[in-house]
Amino acid sequence: MTKPYEHWNVLPHGPVVRVDDDILTVVGRIHMPLTDLPRRMTVVRLRDSRLVIWSAIALDEPAMATLEAFGRPAFLIVPNDHHRLDAKAWKHRFPQMIVVAPIGARLEVEEIVPVDTTVPDFGDPSVQFVTVPGTRDQEAALVVRTASGTTLVLNDLVGNIRSTPDVGNWLLRLAGFAGPGAQIPKLVKLAMVRDADALRDQLLQWAEHESPRRILVSHGDPIETNAPRTLRELARSL
């Protein structure tokens, strides 16, 4: 695992993309042996224009200007202990931010940055923080309900990197993060999933009761075609 950064360290990333009226995303890349791993930051704007930053990435200054014109960074969500890379730098740049992590990852995240809460109150009922059942309380999710539909923001629970035939992507395919479609990575199943029934129930609950318009994942492409069906397929794979 790459060591978390002490300072604002801008790695290659793409443009800030608006996927809904109150949701932005940015995709960056981390260089790893034999491959570059894509990683996504998601930004959700609350009704009072405060921002929820999910899986933070240090951006260049033009991109940060776009983000800060969108709203005021207020919550910094570290969705599991593998997504701490830029957390300290963000907290240093915006010291007023409330740091959030799932309770099962709190100790590991606090090795890098103090965690203020594991049960955040965003003051906006349209945005819900979830500690995902069945994951030893180590994985978080966000449910964002807007006028155009629900967006489900997931982290490592689902990989959707569309594979290409190079050595690096072969390794990502082997780990289960890359392939022809969305899947629960093999490494996640081994390391994190301890109650498959509970996780299955949560995936089905999201599919049936939220019927999301899209799913954003930290590693891979957005799932924007029949997201509820994808959730049901993921549930069946457990």
CATH number where 106 lies:
3.60.15.10
Output the pTM of the full model. Answer: 0.94
Is 151 within a domain?
yes
Is 2 within a domain?
no
- Vertex 68 angle, CA 145 and 49, to 5°: 40
Q: Which two tokens stand for residue 80?
A: 């599991």
Is 62 within a domain?
yes
- Could you tell me if 203 and 233 are in contact, meaning their C-beta atoms sit under 8 angstroms apart? no
Is 37 within a domain?
yes
Q: Give 11-60 as a DSSP string.
A: PPB---EEEETTEEEEEEEEEETTEEEEEEEEEEE-TTSEEEEES-----
Residue 77's domain spans which residues? 17-236
Rounded Cα distance, 219 and 160, in Å: 6
Is 166 within a domain?
yes
Is 74 within a domain?
yes
Is 1 within a domain?
no
Q: What is the pLDDT of residues 155-192, one digit of tens each?
A: 999 989 876 555 556 667 666 676 778 999 988 998 89
Indicate the burial class of 219 (C-beta count within 10 angstroms; 0-12, 13-18, 19 or more). buried
Closest CA to 151 of 227, 220, 78: 227
Identify the pLDDT of residue 1. Answer: 56
- Name the pLDDT band for 30 (thresholds 50, 70, 90): confident
Is 5 within a domain?
no
Identify the pLDDT of residue 162. Answer: 76
The total number of structural domains that make up the chain:
1
CA contacts within 13 A on the Cβ side of 99: 28
CA dihedral 87, 34, 170, 174 (to 10 degrees): -50
Q: What is the pLDDT of residues 190-214, one digit of tens each?
A: 889 999 999 999 999 999 999 999 9
